[in-house]
């Protein structure tokens, strides 16, 4: 008998129909599960059941049918270590972050704070590391403390966004398909109070050791940068700009559908919020937020940036956290963001790879 017998599905406000994303399943997005009334699991039992469900493939089949996301509620997750043990039960290899923009603190094995940016600042819809050639296949989040107000994690179907944009602005999709997107991240010497506020060392200094001289530090940083970009520039103030030119309209291999995989909506939301839409793109938070461009360096039309962000936000489903919740997201099918909050909110993140290639590029018309 299936280990799913230990769980029952539940519904919550805002769930969406996967048929609207182009899937033929007609299920609720996301899948939401909780232990049955007759099962009051210990942490060890929770880990064992999730491990069996993952190894059988049954859990992932259900997650795909429901659009690439599952919320599991009611497990006895109380600490970062508890969360780490449950999250590892999904069976994924840990993802190594390269060029991390947000400030994060490691709290347990492969578990970090989600983002240490100020609680009053939102984070706009994005795929994790959608701007990089090195990105995680899966994400998990878990909640240890719930805020007094706000603090939801909106999740958005990337499949649904790609479909909606193709219907409303097919010419924009075609331009993105042919040109890709150009992102620029600028890292300063010090961490700043921002959602993209990590320093050069925080992003690329994994191998820097105390006592390294300036030349050695720069060499080590550049070696890390080149793992995912050969386009970078040091500035007179010691800051570092790294440019990434990557596709955003891609094929989600598990479903065969077109997906939107990138950070255009979050970059544009952040640029406008901080008043950084004009050179030198330094915002009111003292951090740099250049808006994304087409891959050939031409500006993306504001009407398309506004449309993409508006559509993404219209598709969002708010995950209103309860203590012990754990969420699993297919990073190639689901975007996420973050609402501002008051009080204490502790949401932890873990990034995961997959042994399979799960996203591929469409061929480009080289004559275009």
Residue 137 has pLDDT above 70, yes or no: yes
> How large is the average pLDDT for residues 90-108?
88
User: Are the beta carbons of 325 and 131 closer than 8 angstroms?
Assistant: no
When pLDDT is averaged across residues 116-135 and rounded to a whole number, the result is: 92
Task: Give residue 114's pLDDT.
Answer: 82
Half-sphere exposure of 36 (CA within 13 A, CB side): 8
**Distance between CA atoms of 85 and 82, rounded to whole angstroms?**
5
Rounded to whole angstroms, how far apart are CA atoms 73 and 69? 13
Domains detected in the chain: 3-161+316-361 (3.60.130.10), 164-310 (3.60.130.10)
Residue 90 has pLDDT above 80, yes or no: yes
Cβ-contact 98, 62 below 8 angstroms:
no
Please state whether beta strands 69-72 and 31-35 pair in parallel, antiparallel, or not at all (unpaired).
parallel
How does pLDDT run across 8-32, given as a tens digit for each residue?
A: 999 999 999 999 999 999 999 999 9
Task: Flag whether the pTM goes above 0.85.
Answer: yes
> Between the CA of residue 340 and those of 25, 121, 153, 316, what are the distances in Å?
33, 6, 10, 15
| Helix/strand/coil percentages in the chain, nearest 5 | 25, 25, 45
pLDDT number for residue 192 = 58
Contact 319, 152 (CB under 8 A): yes
Which of left, alpha, beta for 275 (phi over 0: left; psi -120 to 50: alpha)? left
> What's residue 286's pLDDT?
78
Structure tokens given for 48 = 């064992």
pLDDT, residue 367, reads 43
Q: Which of 337, 155, 172, 354 is nearest to 248 (CA)?
A: 172
The confidence score (pLDDT) of residue 366 equals 53
- Give me the mean pLDDT over the 324-351 stretch: 97
d(CA 64, CA 333): 9
User: CB of 187 within 8 A of CB of 199?
Assistant: yes
CA distance 247 to 143: 32
Question: Across the chain, what does the average pLDDT equal?
Answer: 93
């Amino acid at each position: 008998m299936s280990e799913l017998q230990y769980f029952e599905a539940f519904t919550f406000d805002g769930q969406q129909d996967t048929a609207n994303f182009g899937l033929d399943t007609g299920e609720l997005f996301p899948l939401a599960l909780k232990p049955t009334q007759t099962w009051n699991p210990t942490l060890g039992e929770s880990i064992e059941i999730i491990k069996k469900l993952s190894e059988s493939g049954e859990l992932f089949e259900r997650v795909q049918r429901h659009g690439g996301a599952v919320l599991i509620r009611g497990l006895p997750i109380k600490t970062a270590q508890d969360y780490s043990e449950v999250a590892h039960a999904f069976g994924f290899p840990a993802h190594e972050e390269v060029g991390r923009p947000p400030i994060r603190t490691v709290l347990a094995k492969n578990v970090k704070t989600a983002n240490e940016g100020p609680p009053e600042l939102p984070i706009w819809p994005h795929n994790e590391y959608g701007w990089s050639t090195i990105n995680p296949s899966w994400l998990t989040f878990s909640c240890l403390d719930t805020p007094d107000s706000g603090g939801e994690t909106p999740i958005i179907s990337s499949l649904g966004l790609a479909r909606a944009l193709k219907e409303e602005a097919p010419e924009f999709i075609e331009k993105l398909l042919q040109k890709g997107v150009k992102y620029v991240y600028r890292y300063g010497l010090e961490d700043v109070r921002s959602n993209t506020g990590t320093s050069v060392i925080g992003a690329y200094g994994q191998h820097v050791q105390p006592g390294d001289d300036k030349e050695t530090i720069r060499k080590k940083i550049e070696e890390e940068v080149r793992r995912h970009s050969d386009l970078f520039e040091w500035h007179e103030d010691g800051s570092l700009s790294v440019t990434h030119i990557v596709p955003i309209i891609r094929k989600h291999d598990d479903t065969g559908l077109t997906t939107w995989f990138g950070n255009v909506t979050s970059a544009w939301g952040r640029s406008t919020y901080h008043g950084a839409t004009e050179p030198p793109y330094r915002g009111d938070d003292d951090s740099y937020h250049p808006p994304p461009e087409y891959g050939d360096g031409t500006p993306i039309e504001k009407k398309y940036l506004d449309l993409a962000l508006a559509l993404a936000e219209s598709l969002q489903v708010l995950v209103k956290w309860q203590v012990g919740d754990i969420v699993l997201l297919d990073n190639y099918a689901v975007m996420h963001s973050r609402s501002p909050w008051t009080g204490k909110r502790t949401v932890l993140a873990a990034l995961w790879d997959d042994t399979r290639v799960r996203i591929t590029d469409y061929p480009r018309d080289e004559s275009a």
